[in-house]
C-alpha cells in the first residue's frame, strides 16, 4: 500500500505534468528543443535529488516510488525522465562508492539541481562491453590527464559534469581491474563537440565529448582507489535499468490510453472500431502487457529497496517492459491508421521513442543473457 508521502509526491508530479508539460511537450519534441522551463520546475519538485539521501539534501525516495514517478513522466514525455535519471545514476555512484568528502561536496549540489550531469560510459567502439573502452587517464602529480572520446552522453551540453569511466591501467588483465571512475566537471580539455540527432528521445541533449589533455584532480576519483570503476558503473546501472523499465511502462501505458480513446471515436462500417473484434484483440493484449510490465518493475524495485541483488529482476523488468512499449506503440500506430503516421498526433512520437529503451542501459539481448546466467547461478544442480 502506498504511503502518505508517496501519494503526495505522485499527486504533485501528476499536477505538474498536466499543467506544465502536457500542453507543451509535443511542440518541444518536434523542434528538438531543450525544455529549460521544465528543468527549472523539476528542480523545484526535487526530482534531481529524488533518490539522494536526505542528509545530503535529497528526497531519499526508494526505487519503488521513483519508478512510479518515472512511469508517470514517461507517459507524458519520455525524454524528461532521461534528464533526471542520467543525473541520478551519477549521483548514485557517488553516494554508494564515494568518499565522505566527495559526498559532502557534490551530493547537495546534485540534489538541488545546481550541478547536473550524467554518466560517461559509452564510446564510439564500446557500449554494452564496457571493458572495451579506450578513454584513458594517466597520473600526473595530484591530477590525472584524460584523453579519449565518449558518445551518446545525456546532459553533456546543458549539464556541468559527468561520472567519467576511464582506463587508469590499460594493461590490466582482466581489463576491469584497470578501470576507474571520476567526477569530471567541465573545464579546459572537456570538449562537447557535437549534439547527436536522434530518431526519438528528442528535446534532451545527447552529445559527443572529446577529452584532450583534460586534467581532473585525484580527489575526484570516486572512492579514492583506482580499479573500481566498472564496479561503480554497474552499481549505478541497476537503478538505471529499473528506470528504463519504468519508462517502458509509461510509454506502453500512453499507447494503450491513446488506442482506447481513439478506437471509441473512429467509426468504420457504421460503428466505432472498438467494437470490431480485430481491435478488441489488440486492446486486450496491450492492456495485459502494461499490467505485466508494471508488476515486473514493481518486483525489481522492491528487491532493490530491500538491498538484495536484483540484476535478474531488473533485467526481466527492463526486457519485458521495453518490448511491451515497442509493441504497444506499434499497435497504437496501426489502430490510428493514417493519423498514427502523422506528426500532428503523439502516436508517432511513442513509436520513435520506444526503440531507444530496447537498446539503452544494456541491450535486451544482453538482458536475456543476464537472466539466463542468474537462473543457473541461483539454481545449481
- Please indicate, yes or no, whether residues 195 and 263 belong to a single structural domain of this protein: no
Domain that includes residue 334, residue range: 231-378
State residue 43's pLDDT score.
Answer: 97
- Please indicate, yes or no, whether residues 255 and 328 belong to a single structural domain of this protein: yes
- Looking at 62, 90, 112, the residue that finishes a domain is 112
- Please indicate, yes or no, whether residues 216 and 247 belong to a single structural domain of this protein: no
- Please indicate, yes or no, whether residues 60 and 107 belong to a single structural domain of this protein: yes
pTM of the model: 0.94
State residue 238's pLDDT score.
Answer: 81
List, for residues 311-357, the tens digit of each pLDDT value.
Answer: 899 999 999 999 999 999 999 999 999 999 999 999 999 999 999 99
- Please indicate, yes or no, whether residues 221 and 259 belong to a single structural domain of this protein: no
Give the domain CATH number at 172. Answer: 2.40.110.10
* C-alpha–C-alpha distance, residues 33 and 25, integer Å: 10
State residue 4's pLDDT score.
Answer: 87
- Please indicate, yes or no, whether residues 133 and 186 belong to a single structural domain of this protein: yes
State residue 309's pLDDT score.
Answer: 87
- Looking at 183, 213, 228, the residue that finishes a domain is 228
> How many separate domains does the chain show?
3
State residue 269's pLDDT score.
Answer: 92
- Please indicate, yes or no, whether residues 135 and 93 belong to a single structural domain of this protein: no
- Please indicate, yes or no, whether residues 325 and 282 belong to a single structural domain of this protein: yes
- Please indicate, yes or no, whether residues 278 and 293 belong to a single structural domain of this protein: yes
Give the domain CATH number at 23. Answer: 1.10.540.10
Q: How would you class 308 by CB atoms within 10 Å of its CB: exposed for 0-12, middle for 13-18, buried for 19 or more?
A: exposed
- Looking at 84, 112, 140, the residue that finishes a domain is 112
- Please indicate, yes or no, whether residues 216 and 122 belong to a single structural domain of this protein: yes
- Please indicate, yes or no, whether residues 8 and 28 belong to a single structural domain of this protein: yes
Enzyme catalytic residues:
361
Give the domain CATH number at 331. Answer: 1.20.140.10
State residue 127's pLDDT score.
Answer: 76
Counting as low any pLDDT under 70, the low residues of the chain are: 1
- Please indicate, yes or no, whether residues 219 and 311 belong to a single structural domain of this protein: no
Q: Over the chain, what HEC string results?
A: CCCHHHHHHHHHHHHHHHHHHHHHHHHHHHHCCCCHHHHHHHHHHCHHHCCCCHHHCCCCCCHHHHHHHHHHHHHHHHHHHHHHHHHHHHHHHHHHHCCHHHHHHHHHHHHHCCCCEEEECCECCECCCHHHCCCEEEEECCEEEEEEEEEEEECCCCCCEEEEEEECCCCCCCHHHHEEEEEEECCCCEEEEEECCCCCCCCCCEEEEEEEEEEEEHHHEHHHCCCCHHHHHHHHHHHHHHHHHHHHHHHHHHHHHHHHHHHHHCEECCEEHHHCHHHHHHHHHHHHHHHHHHHHHHHHHHHHHCCCCCHHHHHHHHHHHHHHHHHHHHHHHHHHHHHHHCCCCCHHHHHHHHHHHHHCCCCHHHHHHHHHHHHHHHCCC
Amino acid at each position: 500500500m502506498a504511503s502518505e508521502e508517496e501519494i503526495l509526491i505522485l499527486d504533485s508530479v501528476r499536477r505538474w505534468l498536466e499543467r506544465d508539460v502536457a500542453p507543451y511537450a509535443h511542440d518541444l519534441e518536434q523542434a528538438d528543443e531543450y525544455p529549460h522551463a521544465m528543468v527549472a520546475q523539476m528542480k523545484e519538485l526535487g526530482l534531481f535529488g529524488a533518490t539522494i539521501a536526505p542528509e545530503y539534501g535529497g528526497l531519499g525516495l526508494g526505487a519503488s516510488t521513483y519508478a512510479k514517478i518515472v512511469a508517470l513522466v514517461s507517459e507524458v514525455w519520455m525524454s524528461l525522465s532521461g534528464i533526471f535519471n542520467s543525473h541520478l545514476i551519477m549521483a548514485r555512484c557517488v553516494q554508494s562508492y564515494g568518499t565522505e568528502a566527495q559526498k559532502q561536496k557534490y551530493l547537495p549540489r546534485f540534489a538541488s539541481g545546481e550541478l547536473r550531469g550524467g554518466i560517461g560510459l559509452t564510446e564510439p567502439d564500446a557500449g554494452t562491453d564496457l571493458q572495451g573502452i579506450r578513454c584513458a587517464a594517466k597520473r600526473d602529480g595530484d591530477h590525472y590527464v584524460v584523453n579519449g572520446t565518449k558518445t551518446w552522453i545525456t546532459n553533456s551540453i546543458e549539464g556541468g559534469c559527468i561520472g567519467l569511466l576511464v582506463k587508469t591501467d590499460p594493461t590490466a588483465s582482466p581489463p576491469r581491474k584497470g578501470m576507474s571512475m571520476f567526477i569530471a566537471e567541465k573545464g579546459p580539455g572537456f570538449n562537447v563537440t557535437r549534439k547527436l540527432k536522434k530518431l526519438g528521445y528528442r528535446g534532451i541533449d545527447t552529445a559527443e565529448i572529446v577529452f584532450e589533455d583534460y586534467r581532473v584532480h585525484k580527489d575526484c576519483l570516486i572512492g579514492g582507489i583506482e580499479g573500481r570503476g566498472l564496479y561503480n558503473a554497474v552499481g549505478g546501472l541497476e537503478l538505471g535499468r529499473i528506470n528504463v523499465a519504468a519508462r517502458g511502462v509509461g510509454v506502453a501505458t500512453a499507447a494503450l490510453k491513446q488506442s482506447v480513446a481513439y478506437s471509441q471515436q473512429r467509426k468504420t462500417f457504421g460503428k466505432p472500431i472498438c467494437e470490431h473484434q480485430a481491435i478488441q484483440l489488440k486492446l486486450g493484449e496491450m492492456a495485459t502487457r502494461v499490467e505485466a510490465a508494471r508488476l515486473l518493475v514493481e518486483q525489481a524495485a522492491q528487491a532493490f529497496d530491500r538491498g538484495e541483488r536484483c540484476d535478474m529482476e531488473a533485467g526481466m523488468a527492463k526486457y519485458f517492459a521495453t518490448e511491451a512499449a515497442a509493441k504497444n506503440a506499434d499497435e497504437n500506430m496501426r489502430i490510428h491508421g493514417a493519423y498514427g503516421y502523422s506528426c500532428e498526433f503523439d502516436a508517432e512520437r511513442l513509436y520513435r521513442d520506444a526503440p531507444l529503451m530496447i537498446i539503452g542501459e544494456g541491450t535486451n539481448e544482453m538482458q536475456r543473457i543476464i537472466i539466463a546466467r542468474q537462473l543457473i547461478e541461483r539454481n545449481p544442480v
